[in-house]
Amino acid sequence: MAKVKLLTSDQIPWSRPMEDERVSEEQRGKLKRGERSTEFRMREAGTADSLQLVEIRYQPDSEIQLHSHDADEIIYILEGSMKIGNRTVGPGASLFIAGGTFYGFRAGPDGLHILNFRPRSDPSFNLPPGKPG
């Protein structure tokens, strides 16, 4: 049976990783200062068999350290800008990042507002081998 689920922005509160019960102590321990000030809304939490969609806002000039996730992901930029590698991209840009690929980025001077899509629930935040959190 087909199913439609509608959520509006006013139905989903913003949360912070250091306060949200869905973020484990282990995950919190890996986060750097700019990552701790992140705000997110879990639009679709996902399961092992269903899609995950997270809306994320980063403060201006926040640095997101080199990390990977277990699942593939697509990042879509809504507002602000992201410096990744030697490129700066803005609203309307999208990035596909294969699971297990290490990447990091910096939010632009006006911050960064993105949608992060994954094919299943994936709370992983893997640091490169030998790198402390």
Task: Sketch the domain layout of the chain as residue ranges.
Answer: 15-118
pLDDT in tens, 18-71: 888 888 888 888 888 888 889 999 999 999 999 999 999 999 999 999 999 999
Q: How many helices (H) and strands (E) does the chain have?
A: 2, 7
Q: What is the pTM of this model?
A: 0.91
Measure the CA dihedral 104/111/16/36, to 10°.
50
Name the CATH superfamily, with its identifier, for domain 15-118.
Jelly Rolls (2.60.120.10)
